[in-house]
Copies of this chain bind each other. A is one copy, B any other.
Amino acid sequence: MSVTSTTIVTPQLIAFEKPFALQNGHILPRFDLMIETYGTLNASKSNAVLICHALSGTHHVAGRHHADDKYAGWWDNMVGSGKPIDTDKFFVIGLNNLGGCAGSTGPLSQNPETGADYGADFPVVTVRDWVNSQAMLADYLGITEWAAVVGGSLGGMQALQWAIDFPRRVRHALVIASSPRLSTQNIAFNDVARQAILTDPDFHGGHYTRHNTKPRRGLRIARMMGHITYLAENGLGKKFGRQLRGNEFNFNYDIDFEVESYLRYQGDKFADHFDANTYLLMTKALDYFDPAAEHNNQLTAAVSSAQAKFFVASFSSDWRFAPSRSQELVKALIAEKKNVQYVEIESHHGHDAFLMEDKPYIDAVRAFMLNIKV
């Protein structure tokens, strides 16, 4: 069954009806994961690839849900028939992470213990919790071992955690535009975003659904700021420069420059569809991720358990997860004599480059995936 950009795909909700213990000690009585699959699991179940999403991603990786959908899935350029992650060869699974807002159990779900929405009561989950929940999904699907776990940004952190925590279950890990831990500046930006949401009067301590509202302003500001950090300075400059919307300055606070219009649009769109509590917990998962921390800050010790072959990629203009952060990981892997392929892609698309169509990058992923035996 060929998977193209126009193939209609249907998500499935998988229920896990047993208690799930989180890293913070909290126990979820049950949970659902919304998933989407592409291609066919082979008889030996050796061709399964897990796609882990970043902050605002979902299970909808490729194809379309409806014939009239304006856009295909978020990584449709990477996943499909004949694409770098080839669904004619691999059985590819996308999922919405636990705590998300696209169908998996999260703050918008009903808390079985109270009957009301979780809202702010949904626990803060970690990258390790996600990996554990994804391992339960693998068990459910009868997948003992992933041919590959793949992710960009926060998704790359999950791929790395998988390789560390389940060395026998991951044959290849693709860690793209990611980092073994956030920098101080990353954490600082995340905290400003959270403060924008937490101090929005419509936040109501995270129980905004009970008040039939949502903290749109805060989400909007968080996304506008985040968006700047996803783009490269010179990419933004090339795209918008100092181009004015009108012929002259307004001398007020309406839109003067095109870049303002673009950012406000991005912020509005995000505030319309994303859940604020999910945004908060996703940024905390980012902040907390630090596999070296439990090994005396030795990243080498943290990765020593991994058995996967690694593909690490970074992008020259990515200042959110700079190439130097990927290099830290690569150095630790080499020091531990792991099999690692590293590519640094010249790009002016900043952090967002990992989602873009860029030939050297696409070709590098393609070559790596081609060499995987199933």
Contacts and interface: CB of A to CB of B under 8 A. Distances in A.
A261 B281 CA distance: 19
Q: How many A residues are at the interface, by size bracket?
A: 35 or more
Contacts of A263: 188, 191-192
A366 interface: no
Interface stretch (A6-14, A100-108, A177-185): A177-185
B124 A260 contact: no
Contacts of A228: 185, 188-189, 192
Contact of A181 (B221, B239, B242): B242
> Chain B CB within 10 Å — which of A26, A242, A284 has the most?
A242
B192 A242 contact: no
Interface stretch (A71-79, A136-144, A194-202): A194-202
Given A184-B240, A185-B236, A199-B217, A287 B256 contact: yes
Given A220-B199, A242-B290, A251-B123, A237 B183 contact: yes
A233 interface: yes
A195 B264 contact: yes
Interface in A241-298: 241-242, 249, 251-253, 256-257, 259-260, 263-264, 267, 280, 284, 287-288, 290
Given A123-B251, A251-B123, A241 B184 contact: yes
Interface in A188-223: 188-189, 191-192, 194-196, 198-201, 217, 220-221
A355 interface: no
B185 A237 contact: yes
Contact of A195 (B188, B267, B280): B267
Given A123-B251, A263-B192, A187 B220 contact: no
A24 B259 CA distance: 22
A364 interface: no
A55 interface: no
A224 interface: yes
Contacts of A198: 253
A291 B313 CA distance: 41
Contacts of A284: 251, 253
A225 interface: yes
Contact of A251 (B24, B264, B267): B24
Contact of A242 (B187, B231, B240, B256): B187
25 contacts: A24-B251, A26-B251, A123-B251, A124-B252, A184-B236, A184-B239, A184-B257, A185-B236, A185-B237, A187-B257, A187-B259, A187-B260, A188-B224, A188-B259, A191-B224, A191-B257, A191-B259, A192-B221, A195-B224, A199-B217, A201-B201, A221-B221, A249-B288, A251-B284, A253-B284
